[in-house]
Amino acid sequence: MRSVEVLKNVFWVGAVDWNRRHFHGFTYSTHRGATYNAYLIVDEKTALIDTVYGPFAGEMIEKIREVIDPSTIDYVVANHVETDHSGAISELLKVAPHATIVGTVQCQRGLQKHYFGNWKFQKVATGDEINLGEIRLQFIQAPMLHWPDSMFTYIEEEALLLPNDAFGQHLATSKRFDDEVDENVLMDEAAKYYANILWPFSQLVVRKIEEIQKLGLRIDMIAPSHGIIWRGNPMKIVESYLKWARGEAKRRVLVVYDTMWGSTEKMAKAIVEGISNKGVEAMLFRLPFSDRGDILKELLEAKGIVIGSSTINNGIIPTIAPFLEELAGLKPRSKVAAVFGSYGWGGGAVKTIESKLGNAGIEIVAPSLTAQWVPNEDELKKCTELGEDIATTVLERT
């Protein structure tokens, strides 16, 4: 793929990682691949905003060469230390030896610890600017969105926001703009990205958006460092972030479970029936058949979740442990929950799930249900009633 002219003086010189199927190790499935976006700003002086993941350094440098001689690059703005954006800096500096790296003080520390490079570094903070000629780079720190060093770069002259990870999606495509791709696919990946990366920082997301709104910045284009550039309707993703961050959700309940011999599954299906009886959408996921990251994306816009497990060794089936662990870390806001499970003798799965939901800060709104060995007609009726109860709570709270 070649470089792409995004605006008159702004060029995409990033890389598409078509074959990436997992991100952050194996924590986040990327079924549609990924992109690392770097942007070249050409004026009297030249700046590169972010780089790409290290193995793609050569691709990025070739794209830069299509536009300018890389040795003329004056600044490399490192909006974020994480290696998917900084991994190509060392290679780039071999062909751009005069470039100064620009970032926050936390960024400087992070880059030093990652690469041990003795690089020229210019520290910047919110309100600082670098003049390239007609274009000024303005900086807005965005700590914990999603690392302490994170920063946005803004170009007033182009009404262009370059927010690094924020507003990104993992989507490999030969297209670069929101108005060139399927909107449902785009929003699906944007939601999954928010759920898997930004969800725990939701309060900061709201505050940062409100801060930028108060600054009165004109934003005609948002060019994140992953995925598609928002130019058709850049406010769509901003409004979606506000909705997700505020915990606004649909009348939807997820039922997530695993089962040893089918008893917990019978209970799960009876709960789904109860949820549906009340006209609330139900979605059923058995782990590990369903992907954890995909379930989290569906949970982002669901008001409720019901989690079940058979008991084994006085606890949960290990296959649901990673999902519960991730919930505890993401701490989704404003959800309601219920718990169920089957057991042979001592039980224990339900207690473990209750404890994990407590760690996640999710409110359990109904007494947990258990059934010994195989649920009988009466126990399944109670499962249906549990589904109706949580659906009623969802209706009351949405």
- Which of 53/285 has CB closer to ligand FEO? 53
Cβ-contact 219, 159 below 8 angstroms: yes
Assess 335 for contact with ligand FEO (CB under 6 A): no
Assess 192 for contact with ligand FEO (CB under 6 A): no
Assess 80 for contact with ligand FEO (CB under 6 A): yes
Residue 24 annotated in active site: yes
- Which of 326/388 has CB closer to ligand FEO? 326
Q: Which of 165, 178, 265, 379 is catalytic?
A: 165
**Which of 20, 146, 176, 278 touches ligand FEO by CB under 6 A?**
146
- Which of 168/375 has CB closer to ligand FEO? 168
Listed in sequence order, the residues at least 6 apart from 359 whose beta carbon sits closer than 8 Å to its beta carbon are 328
Cβ-contact 40, 3 below 8 angstroms: yes
Assess 17 for contact with ligand FEO (CB under 6 A): no
Q: How far apart are CA 15 and CA 168, in angstroms?
A: 14
Residue 294 annotated in active site: no
Residues paired with 364 in a beta bridge: 337
**Which of 165, 189, 265, 298 touches ligand FEO by CB under 6 A?**
165
In the bound state, the residue with its beta carbon closest to ligand FEO is 82
**Which of 20, 85, 192, 335 touches ligand FEO by CB under 6 A?**
85
Q: Which stretch binds ligand FEO (CB under 6 A): 78-86, 102-110, 342-350, 363-371?
A: 78-86
Least distance from ligand FEO to the Cβ atom of residue 186, Å: 17
Size of the site for ligand FEO (CB under 6 A): 8
- Which of 205/320 has CB closer to ligand FEO? 205
Q: Which stretch binds ligand FEO (CB under 6 A): 82-90, 251-259, 314-322, 360-368?
A: 82-90
Q: Which amino acid is present at 133?
A: G
Residues 210-229 that bind ligand FEO (CB under 6 A): 226
Burial (Cβ within 10 Å: 0-12, 13-18, ≥19) of residue 151: buried
Strand locations in 238-280, DSSP E? 250-258
**Pair type for strands 151-155 and 160-162:** antiparallel
46-49, strands of its sheet edge to edge? 4-7, 10-12, 39-42, 46-49, 75-77, 100-103, 121-123
User: In a 3-state reduction of DSSP, which class is residue 121?
Assistant: strand
- Which of 52/275 has CB closer to ligand FEO? 52
Cβ-contact 261, 191 below 8 angstroms: no
Least distance from ligand FEO to the Cβ atom of residue 50, Å: 9
Residue 220 annotated in active site: no
**Pair type for strands 100-103 and 250-258:** unpaired
Burial (Cβ within 10 Å: 0-12, 13-18, ≥19) of residue 219: middle
Length in residues, the chain: 398
Assess 50 for contact with ligand FEO (CB under 6 A): no
Residue 74 annotated in active site: no
Token digits of residue 44: 């009297």
Active site residues: 24, 80, 82, 84, 146, 165, 193, 226
Instruction: List interacting residues with ligand FEO (CB under 6 A).
Output: 80, 82, 84-85, 146-147, 165, 226
